[in-house]
Amino acid sequence: MKPLVSICVPNLNTFPFLRERFDSIFQQTFDDWELFVYDSLSDDGSWEFIQEIARTDKRMRIAQGPREGVYPAWNECLRQTNGEYVYIATSDDSMAPDFLEKMVGALEQHRQCELAHSNLVIVDENGERLTRLTWPECTVFADGAPEFLKVPHVRHAPYNGLLQLTGKHAILSITQVLLRRSIFSKVGDFPSRWGSISDFNWEMKAGLVAHMVHVPDTSATWRIHSRQATASLEYGTVAYFKMVDDMIHDAVSTCEPYLPPAVRHAARNYVERARELGAYYRTLRELRDNTLKRRLFQFGRMVRTGPVRREILGRMLGVPKWTEHATTEVREWLESLGLRPLEHCTLSSNSHGNTTRMHHPNP
């Protein structure tokens, strides 16, 4: 009988964090899982440590392959496993001991959902909680719907995906989600064409086509450190925002056949409007040190027809920026089409039968 959950650990030179990663797996209160570790030819002692760990648990399989990037490694993990649920356990992060138990339970109870989503704790290299960057403030997850943050609820597609028209994540890290394997038949494997931020595209596609259940009483951690794949990425640059625009366009085009008819007919105009407004505010940010060019740019846009002109006139009348009310607008738009973007739900306290706490010996 195949295990219910496939835990996938892609790794490249994260030796300082591996013990914590594996401890967080072996100490789970849920134990119906397989563990596959894919190492991309690490040279910092990681592979030797992984081999030592693998000798102590028959549920663990390991392999090495070439350094082709983050997402090809994730995809290789998918090919090598077959559980109904998939958890990408990034090798420098961790999760609460009850994470899998509660996330599996949520998806078992809500079979219409293909993602379960937990709270996220952002930590530094030493595992200390960061105060300069906090979840969910760095995402659009709670924007426009703060009353849902601390309660179990279902997010119906395409709500989460449309939130990412703002250019911000609705799901910040793959480490905070458990995936039903069936989702990959709709959105495909993880893309890599946009480098180390390509997960934004995959997450947006998932949000457009799949329902998600939020599980607020467990959590995963996401570690910020100098060796991670996105550490050198220059957020806020023209190149960065161009990639975000490309990922948004690709996600909407790919998922259009799955969108509800009422959304599909209006989505193209809505997406184009979001792109224009996003580009307008990014240009203002680039010109923030040149008042004259900034004013000339705004004047040039105001004399044209379209969403930017309406935005400028609205700002002159005291209307908040589009970026400040876009998420509320998305929710109200979907509700006006007769769709329910958010719905409270219940989660059983004993969500997946009997479980056994596993204590794994340290090598």
Give the side-chain half-sphere CA count within 13 A for 200.
27
Q: What is the tens place of the pLDDT at every residue in 177-225?
A: 999 999 999 999 999 999 999 999 999 999 999 999 999 999 999 999 8
pLDDT at 236: 66
Can you tell me the distance from the alpha carbon of 115 to that of 206, in angstroms, rounded to the nearest whole number? 8
pLDDT at 108: 98
Q: What is the tens place of the pLDDT at every residue in 293-312?
A: 999 999 999 889 899 999 99
- Pick the residue with more confidence: 264 or 4? 4
- Angular region, 338: left φ>0, alpha ψ -120 to 50, beta rest: left
Rounded to two decimals, what is the model's pTM?
Answer: 0.90
Q: Please, which pLDDT band fits residue 40 given cuts at 50, 70 and 90?
A: very high
- Pick the residue with more confidence: 280 or 84? 84
User: Which class for 292: exposed (0-12), middle (13-18), buried (19 or more C-beta within 10 A)?
Assistant: exposed
Number of structural domains in the chain: 1
* Average pLDDT of span 353-359: 40
The 3-state DSSP composition of the chain as helix, strand, coil percent (nearest 5) reads 45, 15, 40
pLDDT at 51: 97
Domain that holds residue 250: 95-348
- 34: helix, coil or strand? strand
Q: What is the tens place of the pLDDT at every residue in 316-331?
A: 999 988 888 889 989 9
Query: What φ, ψ does residue 123 adopt, rounded to 5°?
Result: -125, 165
Q: Is residue 328 part of a domain?
A: yes
- 118: helix, coil or strand? strand
pLDDT at 234: 61
Q: Is residue 31 part of a domain?
A: no
pLDDT at 362: 42
Query: What secondary structure does DSSP assign to 186-255, as a single string?
Result: HH-S---TTGGGTHHHHHHHHHHH-EEEEEEEEEEEEE--TTSTTTT--TTSHHHHHHHHHHHHHHHHHH
Q: Shortest CA distance to 196 belongs to which of 311, 70, 31, 362?
A: 70
Q: What is the tens place of the pLDDT at every residue in 225-283?
A: 877 665 445 666 778 888 998 999 899 999 988 888 878 877 777 778 888 888 888 88
pLDDT at 1: 80
Can you tell me the distance from the alpha carbon of 333 to that of 336, in angstroms, rounded to the nearest whole number? 5
Q: Is residue 356 part of a domain?
A: no
* Average pLDDT of span 118-139: 95
How many CB atoms neighbour CB 340 within 10 A? 12
CA angle 151, 186, 257 (to 5 degrees): 100
- Angular region, 83: left φ>0, alpha ψ -120 to 50, beta rest: beta
Q: Is residue 313 part of a domain?
A: yes
**Residue 100 and residue 28 in contact, taking contact as beta carbons nearer than 8 Å:** yes
pLDDT at 360: 40
Q: What is the tens place of the pLDDT at every residue in 327-345?
A: 998 999 899 988 999 999 9
pLDDT at 230: 57
Question: Is the per-residue pLDDT at 359 higher than 80?
Answer: no
Q: Shortest CA distance to 247 belongs to which of 143, 328, 166?
A: 166
pLDDT at 273: 83
* Average pLDDT of span 155-169: 94
Q: Is residue 190 part of a domain?
A: yes
* Average pLDDT of span 37-53: 97
Q: Please, which pLDDT band fits residue 358 given cuts at 50, 70 and 90?
A: very low
Give the side-chain half-sphere CA count within 13 A for 288.
4
pLDDT averaged over the chain? 91
Q: Shortest CA distance to 309 belongs to which of 341, 277, 338?
A: 277
